[in-house]
Structure 1
Amino acid sequence: MPTDIAFLAIAEAHQAYHWLPAALALSRRAGVRVHVLSPSPLILDLVASYDPEGDMNLVRLRRPPSQPDSLFRQPSRFLTLMLNYATIRRFPVLVTTEISSGWLRSVPGFSGRMIQIKHGAGDREGGYKARHSAFDLTLVAGEKDRRRLIDRGLCTTDDCAVGGYAKFELKAAPQRFFDNDRPVLLYNPHFDAALSSWPRHGPQVLGALEALKGWNVIIAPHTKLAGRTAPICTNAPHIRVDMGSRHSIDMSYTMSADVYLGDVSSQIYEYLLRPRPCIFLNLDRRDWRGNDAFSHWRLGQVIEDMAALPQALDRAADLQAGFVDAQEAAMSDSIDRSPTPASERQADLILDFARKSERTAAA
């Protein structure tokens, strides 16, 4: 009998890039059937675009009443789980990147085994929540997350494994988004209202970016922030605003920018796949030094006023040599870049877990 493994795709499209490489790798393994469960035809279409041979079984879940289908706004995860529980519970092994699915563990009679691929490799404390402990196996990008999850009692040394960052295997190539050769600044604010530079300081930030001379600017907020805030509008010809597109989730911008401007987004670690200058906005004047949630702020300049941005950009190239060692060390701790592709490492870990579960069930 084949081993059935289901990937539960009930989150927004940006999370798909974290589980899809492992799903594709498993679908090529002998004796394995991979199923992708989603209430979104658009997400299933996105998945199918990476699976031209149709090796995976795409399962359309019932969709709770919600807004029209969108890659970036999905219906309530809890309602989706409840509405489709009879379908979901049929699969012996479920893989997901979100933690809402941990709710399934509280349903009487639920016997599925659950694996989480932790999406992103960021530092903020919001990435470590009690529901992480609901999973039988957690795969993380690097030793940093493994250490932090274990230290917080959310995992143990036996049920948390380093599998790398498979999204890198689907990354877009660097692209030209402007018709000139000016350097490109990427502004990537996070959705966490308590930590983001946009909700309280948006007009100030936008005004400073509009006034920049000699730079092109891409404003690409986290897709969750883009869905919660009013559209960012500007007539400045040197600014490109993306409130949600494939470019905003496939690393097009992080691969193409010359300088990163942000706050607490885990996309900093995608940008640092190739070390480059970073500038972080501490507009709320936080006492951040020594706080692990802001450890990435040690990887570039930190400014407390948008008036300081032009000067920070002017010296970014000269200062970069002093940050390279710290950037490379942070990347090594956050993302394990073994010569073996992360998708294959994750597939090995998932399949080994699934087959051990089969043997236990049969005993």
Structure 2
Amino acid sequence: MKSVAFLYIGGPHHVFHAAPAAAALAKAARDVQVVNLVSGERSAALIERVYAAYDAPPPDIRPFDTPWWGGLAARISGRASARKLPALLRHRRELAGFDALVTAECSSSILRHFGLYDAKMVLIPHGAGDRAISIEKRMALFDKVIVAGPKNAERMVDCGVVRREDLAEVGYLKLDLMRQLRGQAPKLFDNDRPTIFYNPHFKRELSSLMQAEAIVAAFRAQDRFNLVLAPHIRAFEDATPAERMQWEALAEDGKVIVDLGSDRLLDMSYAIGADIYLGDVSSQVYEFLADPRPCVFVNAHGVRWEGDPNYAFWTLGDVCTPEMVLQAVTVAADRHASYLQQQRAAVAASFGESDGAADRAASQIRQLIGDPEMP
């Protein structure tokens, strides 16, 4: 029997990008053993949710724990991500026993340098953004890179990072999953005011997070809009309890939600339920634009972004300084028509056709491992 391991070491936000393929593979190929290797109970719970959405058999979930020195490295550095390399080294022999490894991030490519040659390695990049980090040299170490749409596929080939024959465009797995999970947008507030989804990135040198307190204060002082402050889940992964409490105190019942870590940051609740997107460099803007709506982008660092492909999404709405956010949001709906056609084209290039994406990704994996039962 062939065996495939899905490896989740980058955090729970990677689960919805890769687990749909795991569920589809487990459902369609009973002759293939599908194992989910996870760091933490939260990821395990999310995997179970994904499998249930696809009516797949119960998932095989196994712990992918970190050695003690990995935990020590994380505490000393103050970075949760410092656990990844120690965990990979600890489990490298176990991983070598699978026919294929599937991951949503590039860190596991280091296994190639530690003797992992027989197992096929598959990358399903999380997100479909425009920043250069989505195209990196480590992708060349994977046997197959499964992307959502033609935008990133063409960019990878043009940059010489991945060969065309090693790429597969299948659609956006997370969007395919969301259509399985719900049929309508969640109600975020019990009022009729338009809701803003404010989504700062976690990298402070690129993000508007340093100005977020002032931006939230501006929304607290008005009565026209609701606001959801929902930064990338990694923005506060290393924060102390006191720091979290300070930010959460910015919330206001009936007007402002501050969410630093719930599952709503992962399952597109805010992207689906909001009326206007406010962000900086997060690729989640494309998830919001799966249903095209007004967008505003905060240029918090005076970036000269025009013509820069890393900021292509900033052409999909008005760009403003942090001080002008409220004014820009106020006119966003009126200005949306001028961006609508470009938004639709950008989403098509980023996501391709997402319905059935999980099944297509599973098929690519089966082909790669030479599944004898492949139809």
What TM-score do you get using the length of structure 2 for normalisation? 0.88
* Structure 2 residue 99 is matched with structure 1 residue 92: yes
Aligned-residue offset at 1:73: 5.5
Aligned-residue offset at 1:130: 2.1
Q: Identify the residue that residue 266 of structure 2 maps to in structure 1.
A: 249
State the Cα RMSD in Å: 2.2
Q: Identify the residue that residue 347 of structure 1 maps to in structure 2.
A: 362
Q: Identify the residue that residue 22 of structure 2 maps to in structure 1.
A: 23
- Equivalent position amino acid for 1:330 in 2: A
* Structure 2 residue 152 is matched with structure 1 residue 142: no
- Equivalent position amino acid for 1:311 in 2: Q
Q: Is the 8 A contact 2:48 2:58 kept in 1?
A: no
Comparing 265-274 with 201-210, greater Cα deviation is found at: 201-210
Aligned-residue offset at 1:343: 0.5
Q: Deviations over 1:197-221 (max 9, x none)?
A: 113x233323323223311100000
Aligned-residue offset at 1:223: 0.6
* Among candidates 240, 250, 255, match of residue 234 of structure 1: 250
* Structure 2 residue 51 is matched with structure 1 residue 35: no
User: Within 5 Å, which residues of 2 pair with 1:1-363?
Assistant: 2-30=1-29, 31-52=31-52, 54-65=57-68, 66=71, 76-108=83-115, 110-171=117-178, 172=182, 173-199=184-210, 201-229=211-239, 230-231=243-244, 232=247, 233-237=249-253, 238-306=255-323, 308-337=324-353, 340-355=355-370
Aligned-residue offset at 1:29: 1.7
- Equivalent position amino acid for 1:41 in 2: E
Aligned-residue offset at 1:350: 1.1
Identity of aligned pairs, percent?
Answer: 34
Comparing 48-57 with 201-210, greater Cα deviation is found at: 48-57
Q: Is the 8 A contact 2:208 2:322 kept in 1?
A: no
Pair 1:317–1:62, CA change in 2 (3 A): closer
Aligned-residue offset at 1:74: 6.5
Pair 1:235–1:38, CA change in 2 (3 A): closer
Pair 1:297–1:105, CA change in 2 (3 A): same
Structure 1 counterpart SS, 2:224: coil
* Residues in 1 aligned to 2:161 and 2:339: alpha-carbon distance in whole angstroms: 32
* Residues in 1 aligned to 2:196 and 2:144: alpha-carbon distance in whole angstroms: 38
Aligned-residue offset at 1:32: 1.9
- Equivalent position amino acid for 2:226 in 1: N
* Residues in 2 aligned to 1:50 and 1:342: alpha-carbon distance in whole angstroms: 14
- Equivalent position amino acid for 1:59 in 2: R
Q: Is the 8 A contact 2:50 2:177 kept in 1?
A: no
Aligned-residue offset at 1:352: 0.8
Structure 1 counterpart SS, 2:51: coil
- Equivalent position amino acid for 2:105 in 1: E
Q: Is the 8 A contact 1:187 1:262 kept in 2?
A: yes
Q: Is the 8 A contact 2:219 2:326 kept in 1?
A: no
| More helix as a share of residues | 2
Structure 2 counterpart SS, 1:51: helix
Aligned-residue offset at 1:109: 5.5
- Equivalent position amino acid for 1:315 in 2: V
Pair 1:149–1:8, CA change in 2 (3 A): same
* Residues in 1 aligned to 2:6 and 2:275: alpha-carbon distance in whole angstroms: 35
Q: Is the 8 A contact 1:36 1:56 kept in 2?
A: yes
* Residues in 2 aligned to 1:75 and 1:47: alpha-carbon distance in whole angstroms: 23
Aligned-residue offset at 1:106: 0.4
Structure 2 unmatched ranges of 5 or more = none
Aligned-residue offset at 1:137: 0.7
Aligned-residue offset at 1:235: 4.9
